[in-house]
Structure formats: C-alpha cells, structure tokens
Chain A
Amino acid sequence: MIRLEHFGKISDNLIMSMIEFRKIRQQFATGRKLIEPLIDITFSIEPGEFVTIQGPSGAGKSTLLLIAGGLLQPTSGSVVVAETEVTNCSPAQLSRFRSEKIGFVFQMFHLVPYLNVRDNIRMGQTTKDNEAVEKMMKRLGIDSRAESFPAMLSAGEQQRTALARAMIHQPSVILADEPTGNLDPENAAQVLGLLDEYRKEGGTVLVVSHGTDIRNYADRVLTLKEGKIVTT
C-alpha cells in the first residue's frame, strides 16, 4: 500500500480507486429549513476513468465535486482521492493536495483578470517550467493569445486557458464543474475532446454537467437525484 506521509491516512480497503466516496452526507441550514443535497453517496472512480455526474440544478453535483477537491467538508462520510483521505487532512495538507493532485475547471472559468493567458496558466504550476507552459498553450490552441488578458478572450479561449491551468502540473484528477456550460457547441466539443485526451494519457476525469453531449465522452454517467445516485 502506498501512503504519502504528508497527506491524511487512508483506509486499507480504499487504495485501489482513484476517487472513492463513502457514505457522503451533506446538510445545509437555510433559515429554519435543513437541506440535505447529498445522502449517503457511495461510489468509486478508477484511475483513467472519465465519469460524468448529471442531475437537475441544486441536486448537489457541484457540492460533490468540491468535497472531492477538499474545498468543502461533508457533514459525514469520507472521500479518498489519489490515495489521500481528503476528509482527514489539515488545511496545510489540503493545500498541498490540491496543488499537486487536483486540477479544477469551472463553468465561470475563474481566470485571474489581471494576468494574461500565459500567467494564468503559470498560476497552476508548482515549479517554474516556461517550456511546459508554451507547449500547453500550443496544444490547446491558445499560444497566439499568450499575452491577452481574460477580458479580451472569447468564452472558448477562456475555458481552454482554464483547462491549461488545470492540466499544467499534470494532476492525477481533473474535477470539472459544468466546463461547457458557457460554451457554444463547437467550443464545448473542443473542451470535452481535450478532457478526453487527458483521460487517454492516464488521467482521471470527474465532470459535473447538465449537457447531453458529454455522454459521448464519458465512460460512465451517474445521475444524482434527491441526494442519491439513482443511475450508474
């Protein structure tokens, strides 16, 4: 069993999967009302798998993704991602886990507005490697926009920049939250194609999406409804 000393301890029976959700329960209080978007969610994703989670708005898809990335603590249950028990890490361990193991892609891109394309991609690096940045920009077709700022880019270019930032440090897992939600079909296909390429190179992809096109790329489609995985 491989253990990374600086990350949280993992249970012996969870080491084979790249992502393992075990009885994840999430509750939010909104005023007097208690909302429970996730009820005992249990499933796993194997290394090199492309999995899509679908479901209606408010079903808890993004919540599940944020829990996997260690950005949100579940009310109960545990998550192991890339041999790290995310739900048992200190803040410092989580920071290191995210910078080394995870690549995030968001619907709203979340590019830093005062950095150009090149610098935005560099934000995802843990070590300075200019050559890798140039290669990544070329691969994603944004090398001609290297000096452009986010406000000057089309939605497709912005999302490809965000994708480059997510992939530049070669993470084990990419967690994408509605990555095509703001894109036209052509750009959406391009972004999904890039995620598929990443999967083919050995990466694991977990995508939350409303769209149906993504079914063409996913190995598995999970549907989240009323807090539970209803189809797999």
Chain B
Amino acid sequence: MKPIQLIFKELRYHRGNAFWSVLAVALTVGIFVSVSMIQTSAERETRRITRNLGFNLRIIPREADMTRFYLAGFTEETMPEAVLDRLVEQGNVSYNHLVATLHQPVDLNGISAIVTGLSEEKYPPGMKKPDMSPHIEPGTVEVGHEIATQLNLKRDAQLTIGKKSFTVARLMPELGTADDLRVVGNLDDVQAALELPNEINEIKAIDCLCLTSDQNPLGILRTELESILPEAKVILLSEMAETRARQRQLMAKTIRFVSPLLLVTCAAWLIALGMINARQRVSEIGLLRALGYDSGSIGVLFVGKAILIGLAGAVLGYAVATWLCITYGPNLFELTSKSIQIDWQLLRQSLTMAPLFTAICSLIPTLFAITRDPARTLRQD
C-alpha cells in the first residue's frame, strides 16, 4: 500500500487529532496572512494620508534665505531642474517620491497669489512606488479656494498667469492654509509662464528611513545630500516625518513581537499533537517494524502527514484570513478600501512555508516513532 494512502486513511481515522493540527496551522497562517494584508493596507493608507498631508522633506538651494523661507513658506532662489535628475540617478539614497517644484509669488488681476509648478514624481532605481502627488495635465491648473472665490473662477474657466493662459481643471476645497492662495500647474507650464525655463526652487520628497527624531534621520539625510548635491540643503518636516515613522515602526514592532510568539505557540501545539499521535500509534509502529518497514518508511508516514496538514492548514488559513480582510478591511481602511484584494503572493508563501514548518515540527514525533523499540510493544510476557 502506498504511503500516501496510509496517510489519508490514518488522517481520517484520527480525525480529531488531524482537525486540531490543521486548526493550529490554519490559525497561524490566518494570523500571518491577515497581519500581512493589514500591514500592506496600513502602509497604503499611511501613504495616502501622508500624501494628503504633503511631503516631509524639502530640498532647497543652499543660499536660500531661511528667514524669508519660513515667513513666506517657500524660497524664491532657484536651482537648475537637472539637480533632481542627479539625485535620482545616484540611487541608494534615503529619498523617494521626488517632485521638482517651482513656487513664485504672482499678481492675478490685483490679487496676490502663489503659483506652484509640479513635475511628475521621480524615483531612484528600484524604488518605484505608486505616485503620491496629483497628476496635473499640461495647460490646466488647480486653483486654491480663496483665489477662486476672489476671482470668481469656475471649473473650465480660463486663467492667465504671466504670458500663458490655463484652463481651471479643479477648484480646491477650503483648507485654511496658504494653499487657499495657491494655483498649482504643470512644472513645464509654470516655468514657461514665469519665464524661468529649467529652473526650480525646491524638491519635495519623502524620507524612506522612517526613523524617529531620537534616531537622527536629518543627520543621515544631510550627509547623503552633501555628497550628491552640495549646492542644496534639506529641511525635514520633523513632526510629519516622525508621525509617519512611528506608524510604520508600530506595525513592524507588532509583527516582530507577534511572529515568534505565534510560531512558538503553533510549534508547541503541533509537537504536542504529534507526540499524542505517535503514542497512539505505538502498536502500529511496532507492527510496521515486524512487517519489515524501515525507519525511512515509518518516517515518511509521519512527515508526509505533517506536510499534508501544513498544506490543508495553509489553504484554510489563507482562505479565511483573505475573506475576513476583504469583508471587514474596508471598514478599517476607508481611503484605500478598493485596493484590499486577494494577494496571490501570500498564497504562494503560505503553501511553501506552512508545510515546511509542519514538517520541521513533526521531526520530534517522527524521531520518537522511528526509535521506538518494537520488542517492547510486541512482547507478550
């Protein structure tokens, strides 16, 4: 009889033991899958929230007057747009989501406003992520609430800035910040309108160190920038960066704490059930020896069973966790609810790791089984 047939028949007979073993694996896999899906969703949500908050790094010309920068909220000094490409090409930097920006104060029909041009987001090689900043079509602008109100602008209205005319693509809601006085357009358009071709005065970015202030992220960022762009300096919006870092670290810390605890609990559970099963089968093991089964054949029965339990637990745990995340995840992550979907990569990982884990956990019961002295079991006197 083939080992696989024996394994299935034994699983059916000792179904209680098999049920609790599959449950242990399913729970472990389920928790890993849900934590992983929640982590992905939380990161996505954080990214979205951070996007709404804005970038946390500002790279400006070294000679920028910091007094005017902080008073106005931007610097009028410019630097070549090419510095952005230089920063991107360096790779291996702790900056990401890089956006070249040009801010200038303008007068729009007697009203003081700030015109901001935004480039497409750029990423160092291998660090491509979903865009955080809005894409603005050439020839269009998004207008701040105060400007739109004072100029009585509607959507699709025409607005002239410098020597260029733009279509109003979007009227921004009232934000209660200087952004209500901002008109945002495509960088190339704004450079042309302000007659500042290839000039920018800021690169907005996100730091990907995710360190809190006590870990001195600014020191690292400044050292990196110094060697690549000596003509620029970096300012970290520390409160925003710290919030982002703390949120990401919280998730990572949770996983670091939960993972070993979960693995140890599951391993103990599986080993205990495996030992109970091996003890229940002492007579059978003795008989198999008497019938000429060697240690390898007996080991295959135990390890093979463990692998099957691992596979069943992986499928069950993955299915339940995915269903729960898809059903209840949108309540937790409202902004990114649509992106909570089946993760096939996680299924592949579950189907690989769970059987491997159960096989390792079965080694102690297997060792017990194959080293069992058949004479002890089978002797009558």
Q: Identify the A interface with B (CB < 8 A).
A: 57-63, 66, 69, 71-72, 91-92, 95-100, 102, 104, 106-108, 110, 112-115, 119, 122-124, 126, 165, 177-178, 181, 208
Are the CB atoms of A104 and B291 closer together than 8 Å? yes
Determine whether the beta carbon of A114 is less than 8 Å from that of B12.
yes
Q: How far is the CA of A160 from the CA of B379 in the complex (A)?
A: 20
Given the known A-B contacts A115-B9, A178-B380, are A71 and B290 also in contact in the complex, defined by CB atoms under 8 Å? yes
Beyond the given A58-B381, A99-B292, A124-B291, please list 16 additional residue pairs across the A-B interface where CB-CB is below 8 A: A57-B381, A59-B381, A62-B379, A63-B379, A66-B375, A71-B290, A95-B292, A104-B287, A104-B291, A106-B378, A106-B380, A107-B380, A122-B1, A123-B287, A126-B292, A165-B291
Give Cα A177–Cα B10 distance, bound, in whole angstroms.
26
Q: Which residues of B contact A112 (CB under 8 A)?
A: 284, 287
Assembled-state Cα–Cα distance A112/B1 (Å): 13
The answer, yes or no, to whether B286 is at the interface (CB within 8 Å) is yes
A92 to B295, CA, bound (A): 9
Q: Are the CB atoms of B14 and A110 closer together than 8 Å?
A: no
Q: Which residues of A contact B379 (CB under 8 A)?
A: 62-63, 66, 177
Chain A CB count within 10 A is highest, among B13, B284, B292, B379, for B292
Nearest to A101 among chain B residues (CB) is B292
Known contacts A57-B381, A95-B293, A114-B10; is A72 also within 8 Å of B375 by CB? yes
Q: Shortest Cβ distance from B116 into chain A, in angstroms?
A: 74
In the docked arrangement, what's the CA distance between A96 and B379, Å? 21
Q: Does B92 belong to the interface (CB within 8 Å)?
A: no
With contacts A92-B294, A96-B292, A99-B291 known, is A113 near B378, CB below 8 A? no
Residues on A with beta carbons closer than 8 Å to the beta carbon of B294: 91-92, 95
**Interface centre among B9, B10, B380, by most A CB within 10 Å?**
B380
> Which A residues are in CB contact (< 8 Å) with B330?
none
| Among B13, B290, B294, B378: residue with most chain A CB under 10 A | B290
Q: Is A110 a contact of B287 with CB atoms below 8 Å? A: yes
How far, in whole Å, are A178 and B378 apart by their CA atoms in the complex? 11
Which chain B residues in 34-65 approach chain A with CB under 8 Å?
none
Q: B292-311, CB under 8 A of A: which get 1 and which 0?
A: 11110000000000000000
Size of B's binding interface in residues, CB under 8 A: 24
Task: Point out the residues of chain A lying under 8 angstroms from B12, CB to CB.
Answer: 114
Known contacts A66-B379, A177-B380; A104 and B290 CB within 8 A of each other: yes
Q: How far is the CA of A104 from the CA of B290 in the complex (A)?
A: 7
Q: Which of A58, A59, A60, A106: most chain B CB closer than 10 A?
A: A106
Q: Is the CB of A119 within 8 A of B9?
A: yes
Residue of B nearest to A165 (CB): B291
Taking a contact as CB atoms under 8 Å apart, the answer to whether A98 and B380 are in contact is no
Q: In the complex where A60-B381, A62-B379, A119-B1 touch, is A110 in contact with B292 (Cβ < 8 A)?
A: no
Q: A residues within 8 A CB of B286?
A: 110
Q: List 19 A-B contacts (CB under 8 A).
A: A57-B381, A59-B381, A60-B381, A66-B379, A71-B289, A98-B292, A99-B293, A102-B290, A104-B291, A106-B378, A108-B283, A108-B380, A110-B283, A110-B287, A119-B1, A122-B1, A126-B292, A177-B379, A178-B380
A123 touches B374 (CB 8 A): no
Docked-complex contact B380 and A114, CB < 8 angstroms: no
Contacts of B290 in A (CB 8 A): 69, 71, 98, 102, 104, 110
Question: Which chain A residues lie closer than 8 Å to B9 at the CB level?
Answer: 114-115, 119
Question: Within the assembled complex, what's the spacing in Å between the Cα atoms of A114 and B378?
Answer: 19
Q: Across the interface, do A123 and B1 meet the contact criterion of CB distance under 8 Å?
A: yes
Q: Please report whether the interface of chain B is mostly helix, strand, loop or mixed according to DSSP.
A: helix
Proximity bits, B1-26, A CB within 8 Å = 1, else 0: 10000100110111000000000000
What's the least CB distance linking B67 to chain A, in Å?
A: 84
Chain B, Cβ-Cβ closest to A175: B290
Given contacts A71-B289, A91-B294, A98-B291, contact A66 B10 (CB under 8 A): no
* Min CB–CB distance A183 → chain B (angstroms): 14
Q: Give the 3 A-B CB pairs with smallest separation, nearest first.
A: A99-B292, A114-B13, A98-B292
Q: Which residue of A lies closest to B292 (CB)?
A: A99
B378 and A66 form a contact (CB under 8 A):
yes
> How far is it, in angstroms, between the C-alpha of A122 and the C-alpha of B283 when the chains are bound?
18
Interface set, chain B 227-281, CB cutoff 8 A to A? none
- The CA of A59 and the CA of B379, in the complex, are separated in Å by 12
CB nearest to B294 among chain A residues: A95
CA distance in complex: A39, B14 (Å): 43
Measured CB to CB, the closest approach of chain B to A112, in angstroms, equals 5
Question: Are the C-beta atoms of B293 and A181 separated by less than 8 Å?
Answer: no
Q: Contact partner of A62 among B14, B289, B292, B381, CB < 8 A?
A: B381
| A177: B residues at CB distance < 8 A | 378-380
Once the chains bind, are B295 and A91 in contact (CB under 8 Å)?
A: yes
Q: How far is the CB of B378 from chain A (nearest CB, A)?
A: 6
Q: In the assembly, what is the distance between CA of A74 and CA of B145, in Å?
A: 98
- Given the interface pairs A61-B381, A62-B379, A107-B380, the reply to whether A113 lies near B292 with Cβ below 8 Å is no
With both beta carbons as reference points, the residue of chain B lying nearest to A116 in the complex is identified as B9
* Nearest residue, chain B, Cβ from A124: B291
| A123 and B292 contact, Cβ closer than 8 Å, known pairs A114-B10, A177-B380 | no
Q: Which residues of A contact B292 (CB under 8 A)?
A: 95-100, 102, 126
Determine the distance from Cα of A96 to Cα of B380 in the docked complex, in whole angstroms.
24
Q: Give bound CA distance, A223 to B315, whole Å.
A: 60
Partner of A181, one of B287, B375, B378, B380: B380
| B18 CB, min distance to chain A CBs, angstroms | 11
A92: which B residues are within 8 A, CB to CB? Answer: 294
Residue of A nearest to B11 (CB): A114
Neighbouring B residues of A95 by C-beta, 8 Å: 289, 292-294
